[in-house]
Amino acid sequence: MKQAALATHPKSQIGRESRKRSVVKSLIWRVIATTVTILLAYAWFGEWGSSVSLGLAANAIKTILYYLHERLWDRVEFGREEEAPEDYTI
């Protein structure tokens, strides 16, 4: 039932993800990853200034790379399955 609802959504592009969705997913993940990086750097350096600088710089670069990675994979057909049309015969 969930598949039918997705397939009939007026803005749906079968098998494709919008750029906006990719950006939001990237940003949410980077917030989590940045926090982890800063905490690990603090455990290593014992200083918040260096830890925050390292965490922000590393994750700004990773955010851009992740977005590009998502957009490239969205163009790859590997591993995608076509949805079988529903049978409406009576």
Residue boundaries of the structural domains of the chain: 18-74
Q: Look at residue 5 and tell me whether its pLDDT is greater than 50.
A: no
44 — pLDDT class (breaks 50, 70, 90): very high
Q: What is the pLDDT of residue 72?
A: 94
Q: Is residue 51 a contact partner of residue 41, using CB atoms and an 8 Å limit?
A: yes
Is pLDDT larger for residue 57 or for residue 89? 57
pTM of the model: 0.53
Average pLDDT in the chain: 82
Mean pLDDT for 49-70 is: 91
C-alpha span between 51 and 43 (Å, rounded): 9
Q: Mean of the pLDDT values across residues 37-50?
A: 96
Q: Please state whether 12 falls in left (phi above 0), alpha (psi between -120 and 50) or beta.
A: beta
Cβ partners under 8 Å of residue 39, min gap 6? 51
